[in-house]
């Protein structure tokens, strides 16, 4: 019995010794508190003597679960690194939005209130840290509240409360104010903001750089009643026959001519292809290399050209039709005027046109015209021969 009691006593002493050694090694006590050990903090949750309690922000393991200050969120911090998108208020060890106005950079919430939250400004001083937006207007930090607060003669936009170069045309002298509704700081004085600002028919389009430039299509000419067609960069009366009420548009001038569509015969003066009879086009012609005018000529048929237009030319029309063959006059010998005046009574060759000759014929002096015998009689009227380089019926 005595030996059993001694053994129990020794075992008890050994257990006490192990427990005490564990506590001493961790540098704590039997209450569950944590103390610094080699510069760190060690929770005493492994100690059988830790008494659990509610976790509080004290850098201790109050609930004996091996973790310190867990599940407290923004209600506990000892440095900014422990706060997400906030700062640590060391005086209360809580995460807050701000410690001073300088922490609040949003123009809509620039003031740090007593609760250390960012709220709307109340006075200009609450905006001194928000860049150029240092005016408190209706709780928002703005750049200005009046023109006097803008530099270099700029204007205060009272919708956006920012300084702008201009707000209306009145701010731009002879120019126009280009307004950027979303960002008035981009407003600028320019030559034009719309085609209606461009009053020169040679520069009627307001381009992407807000400069008046040459028209591109008819929509760039609507500010000019009566000359609403765009032709080669200029606003004119017409650029086709559609507005000329049956007359031909003279594309050389952009005006409606007095010629009816399809009314001009071969060798007749023309202002465009549509003036010529069907199957013909308006060609620029020359006499001995010098421009003599614009005349209608028939497109070459499959066979020979009809007299007296037996000379074949290949060229574009004045209206821009692709080059093709036409039955024409021999431009080195006679002009359309000479052909049209053939047989007319004359006093001298000036009455007979370029390439025409005033000849003494039976019945008096009449016009004939020069021809090239190498081409036979094709350059002379029907039943008139080319005799000694003259179309003449003696």
Per-residue pLDDT tens digits of the chain, which is 394 residues long: 333 433 333 334 443 333 333 333 333 343 444 443 443 444 444 556 788 898 899 888 888 988 888 888 889 999 999 999 999 999 999 999 999 999 998 888 999 999 999 999 999 899 988 877 888 988 988 888 889 888 889 999 988 888 999 999 999 999 999 999 999 999 999 999 999 999 999 999 999 999 999 999 999 999 999 999 999 999 999 999 999 999 999 999 999 999 999 999 999 999 999 999 999 999 999 999 999 999 999 999 999 999 999 999 999 999 999 999 999 999 999 999 999 999 999 999 999 999 999 998 878 899 988 888 888 888 888 888 888 888 887 6
Confidence at residue 222, expressed as pLDDT on a 0 to 100 scale: 97
Cα pseudo-dihedral 377, 381, 384, 388, rounded to 10: -50
Question: In this structure, what token pair is assigned to residue 48?
Answer: 């059988």
Q: Which of 33, 83, 87, 89 is nearest to 58 (CA)?
A: 33
* Residue pair 229/220 in contact by the 8 Å Cβ criterion: no
Degrees to nearest 5, angle at CA 147 with 146 and 148? 90
User: Residue 251 burial (CB < 10 Å; 0-12/13-18/19+)?
Assistant: buried
**Quick one: which of 333, 342, 324, 339 has its CA closest to 375?**
333
Nearest to residue 268, comparing CAs of 247, 248, 293?
293
| Contact assessment for residue 266 and residue 302, using Cβ atoms and an 8 Å cutoff | no
- Can you give the pTM of this predicted structure? 0.56
Residues 390/372, Cβ–Cβ less than 8 Å: no
Q: What is the pLDDT of residue 35?
A: 40
From the number of C-beta atoms within 10 Å of its C-beta (0-12, 13-18, 19+), residue 145 rates as: middle
């Amino acid at each position: 019995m005595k030996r059993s009691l001694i053994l129990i006593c020794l075992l008890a002493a050994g257990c006490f010794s192990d427990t005490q050694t564990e506590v001493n090694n961790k540098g704590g006590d039997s209450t569950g508190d944590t103390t610094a050990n080699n510069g760190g903090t060690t929770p005493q949750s492994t100690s059988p003597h830790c008494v659990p309690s509610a976790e509080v922000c004290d850098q201790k393991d109050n609930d004996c679960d091996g973790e310190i200050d867990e599940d407290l969120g923004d209600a506990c911090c000892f440095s900014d690194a422990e706060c997400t998108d906030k700062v640590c208020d060391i005086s209360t060890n809580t995460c807050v939005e701000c410690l001073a106005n300088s922490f609040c950079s949003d123009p809509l919430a620039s003031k740090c209130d007593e609760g250390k939250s960012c709220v709307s400004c109340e006075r200009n001083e609450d905006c001194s840290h928000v860049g150029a937006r240092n005016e408190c207007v209706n709780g928002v930090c703005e750049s200005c509240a009046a023109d006097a607060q803008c530099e270099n003669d700029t204007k205060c936009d009272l919708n956006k409360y920012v300084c702008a170069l201009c707000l209306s045309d009145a701010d731009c002298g002879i120019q126009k104010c280009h307004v950027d509704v979303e960002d008035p700081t981009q407003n600028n004085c320019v030559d034009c903001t719309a085609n209606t600002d461009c009053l020169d028919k040679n520069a009627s389009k307001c381009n992407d750089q807000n400069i008046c430039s040459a028209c591109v299509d008819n929509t760039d000419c609507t500010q000019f009643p009566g000359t609403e067609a765009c032709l080669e960069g200029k606003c004119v009366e017409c650029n086709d026959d559609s507005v000329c009420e049956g007359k031909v548009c003279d594309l050389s001038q952009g005006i409606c001519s007095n010629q009816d569509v399809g009314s001009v015969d071969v060798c007749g003066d023309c202002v465009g292809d549509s003036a010529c009879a069907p199957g013909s086009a308006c060609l620029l012609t020359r006499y001995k290399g010098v421009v003599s005018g614009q005349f209608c000529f028939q497109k070459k048929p499959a066979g020979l050209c009809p007299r007296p237009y037996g000379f074949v030319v290949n060229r574009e029309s004045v209206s821009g039709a692709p080059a093709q063959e036409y039955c024409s006059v021999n431009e080195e010998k006679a002009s359309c005027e000479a052909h049209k005046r053939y047989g007319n009574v004359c006093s001298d060759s000036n009455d007979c046109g370029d390439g025409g000759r005033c000849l003494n014929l039976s019945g008096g002096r009449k016009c004939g015209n020069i021809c090239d015998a190498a081409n036979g009689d094709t350059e002379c009227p029907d039943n008139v021969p080319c005799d000694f380089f003259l179309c003449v019926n003696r």
